[in-house]
Structure 1
Amino acid sequence: MTSRFQVVPAAYVALLRDGPDGVEVLLQLRSGTGYMDGRWAHGAAGHVELGESALAAAAREAAEELGVGVDPADLGHVATVHRTVAVHRPSEERVDLFVSTRRWSGEPSPLEPGKVAELRWWPLTALPDDVVPHERAALDVLVRREVPGAAAGDAGPTLLTLGFDQRLTLVAAVGTNGVIGDGARMPWHLPEDLRFFRRTTTGGTLLMGRGTWDSIGRALPGRRTIVITRQRSWAAPGAEVAHSLEEALALAGDGEVFVVGGGEVYAQTIDHASRLLVTEVGLAPPGGTRFPEIDPRVWREVARVPGSGDVLGWVTWERSAAGMGGWPTRSDADHSTGA
């Protein structure tokens, strides 16, 4: 165990060619990988192995995944992306090295068909919308470098950071017995609290589990919504889908992310949150879904606004200085891959 930053390095290869609509890049549609499936990614990518340079790793991945021969000397640096998310696991603390080339031998084809739904050449001027977020950041540098007039010849910064300004705020209405629901529906109807929720979250990003989405029944206007579900085929209008907490946070990006339920998602995120917005409800409904215990050694109350009727008040908690020292240390028990 260590609290020091641990890097998981990966190398990404952009094969480029001239097409009828300008420079094209080869992308793969991820499938069956368990991470960012259904999104477009670089044609070849993977972890840098022990004792291996990033350029050698890129050439090896091009051979293993696309069946093409690449000379490391022909690979040019595009961007380095230093990224994380608001959970503390080694696989989410990464340095990604992006390179490109116009020279290779052989015809690219997917050698890992179980992980690739499609391999396609895309014009840099018409990239798909659903690209893995950190890979899109590197492709944007490539666009500025390769597309005439895109940035007046200036590719801009090539050292990019993502996720370091991500902050988690848990928002919940909690009964006097700690209950927040019965797993299927809200245990109360509180118009005053609904207005508070709308004021607080409008313009922001909501992160929720599938059960919470079902209890709401739709995407809320004026907010971006990311839903975590284990069901690979699930989709709904207005929802971005993730299949793990880490994937959801990678989609959310920098800034404040409002975690709005349910109980399992609260439990997974409270140790990584910086703020809690809790509506205290003067009811004790039955139900098996509860909000996690708020440990006074970790959290300090910084604001309390009185309510009326069944709403006792709105309480803001912030992580205390002592709580910062109690943030989880990084465990090697991680399994997802973003490469």
Structure 2
Amino acid sequence: MTQPSTPSSVTDAGQGAPRDEAARRSRPGALVPATYVVLRRQGPSGTEVLLQLRQGTPYMDGWWACGAAGHVEPGESFWRAGVREAAEEIGVELVEDDLEHVATVHRTIALPDPFEQRVDVFVATDRWAGEPHVAEPHRAARLQWWPLDDLPDRVVPHERLALEALAAGARGALLTHGFAQRLTLVAAVGRNGVIGDGAAMPWHLPEDLRFFKDTTMGGVLLMGRGTWDSIGRALPGRRTIVVTRQRDWSAPGAEVAHSLSEALLMAGDGEVFVAGGGEIYAQTIEHAHRLVLTEVDLEPEGSTRFPEVDQERWMETRRQPGSGDITAWVTWERR
């Protein structure tokens, strides 16, 4: 079932490249702090919040996000950072004492990169001076007021958590995102390690397709564009997140991400089944907790191979004999 495959204060707290990204990455264990500002007003049908539609950034473009957000600079408080970001991004003046702490979101993804270990503080206010507008058009397509109880579908996942807490009346909530995320790599591998030729699956194994369905049903599938093309459609009963560099690509039933970290943020907590192709396997095997491999008794030609399974790091925990061209279905757990 496998197939190969900026500077600024900005951008919403971890959804872009901060000025000091290299410095933050060089400090193992350091948390990246950020403040998110929620402007709130009463509309015809109840409470509304101001969201921005992201564009032109390296992360989560095309998603709705809080009106203003960004990393906390050295020497700043979370409150002061919120005041500064609101002025820079939406052109309004805030007073620190008017900011209400809604929630703190501690989040991560199943990668050890310290840049993905974050603490995001969400503050709300219904008092400001000036008319909100897009002050950084290279980073936001537009601003729009949305009913708090009827948010758009594509709200950045960890921001949705905080907005839902606000809607529920929470104040000062401590929320987490991604700490229960686990990666399972699922692949069919030939005797020579080949999993594909870059265009199509190198075999047709109905038994393995049934095994793949049983293994992944109800879960989240993560795959590259090449794997999606080899399957040709969304598989029923599963979320499918497709990683592609092509910014305008879409397909029915596919959730689109433009980087692995973006895809894992979208996937959230729980088990994520990585289904290929070769590049994504290579990027995730060191961080996976489980491998589910179909040993295929064939040696097809092909340039895409599954990464070597280092038996000093992986322990075989289950072997289910197959038949025909399938030698066995094998589960490996990280030692």
TM-score computed with the length of structure 1 as normaliser: 0.90
Q: Give the aligned partner of residue 140 of structure 2.
A: 116
Q: Give the aligned partner of residue 333 of structure 1.
A: none
In the TM superposition, what whole-angstrom CA distance separates every residue of 1:285-308 from its partner, at most 9, and x where no partner exists? 000000000001110111101000
User: Is residue 255 of structure 2 the alignment partner of residue 240 of structure 1?
Assistant: yes
In the TM superposition, what whole-angstrom CA distance separates every residue of 1:128-151 from its partner, at most 9, and x where no partner exists? 111000000000011112xxxxxx
Cα shift at 1:117: 1.2
| Residue segments in structure 2 that go unaligned for 5+ positions in a row | 1-24
Q: Give the aligned partner of residue 75 of structure 1.
A: 99
Cα shift at 1:48: 0.2
Q: Give the aligned partner of residue 16 of structure 2.
A: none
Q: Give the aligned partner of residue 336 of structure 1.
A: none
Cα shift at 1:157: 7.4
The letter of the residue matching 1:232 is R
Residue from 303, 311, 314 that aligns with 1:299: 314
Q: Give the aligned partner of residue 22 of structure 1.
A: 46
SS of residue in 2 equivalent to 1:86:
coil
Cα shift at 1:186: 0.3
The letter of the residue matching 1:179 is V
User: Is residue 334 of structure 2 the alignment partner of residue 310 of structure 1?
Assistant: no
User: Is residue 239 of structure 2 the alignment partner of residue 221 of structure 1?
Assistant: no
Residue from 191, 197, 201 that aligns with 1:182: 197
Residue from 26, 31, 36 that aligns with 1:12: 36
In the TM superposition, what whole-angstrom CA distance separates every residue of 1:140-165 from its partner, at most 9, and x where no partner exists? 011112xxxxxxxxx28710011000
Contact 2:103–2:171 at 8 Å: present in 1 too? no
What is the 5 A alignment of 1:113-262? 113-145=137-169, 155=170, 158-262=173-277
What is the 5 A alignment of 1:88-127? 88-127=112-151
- Cα separation, 1, equivalents of 2:147 and 2:244: 32
Contact 2:102–2:172 at 8 Å: present in 1 too? no
The letter of the residue matching 1:265 is I
In the TM superposition, what whole-angstrom CA distance separates every residue of 1:192-246 from its partner, at most 9, and x where no partner exists? 1111001001101000000000000000011100000000000000000000000
Residue from 274, 284, 304 that aligns with 1:289: 304
Aligned length: 311
SS of residue in 1 equivalent to 2:279:
helix
Q: Give the aligned partner of residue 65 of structure 1.
A: 89
Cα shift at 1:20: 0.9
| Residue segments in structure 1 that go unaligned for 5+ positions in a row | 146-154, 321-339
Contact 2:244–2:259 at 8 Å: present in 1 too? yes
Give RMSD over aligned pairs. 1.2
What is the 5 A alignment of 1:27-46? 27-46=51-70
* Shift in alpha-carbon separation, 1:157–1:44, aligned structure 2, 3 A: closer
In the TM superposition, what whole-angstrom CA distance separates every residue of 1:7-46 from its partner, at most 9, and x where no partner exists? 0001000001111111110000111112111110000000
Q: Give the aligned partner of residue 277 of structure 1.
A: 292
- Cα separation, 1, equivalents of 2:323 and 2:144: 58
Cα shift at 1:5: 2.6
Q: Give the aligned partner of residue 332 of structure 1.
A: none
The letter of the residue matching 2:262 is E
Cα shift at 1:90: 1.7
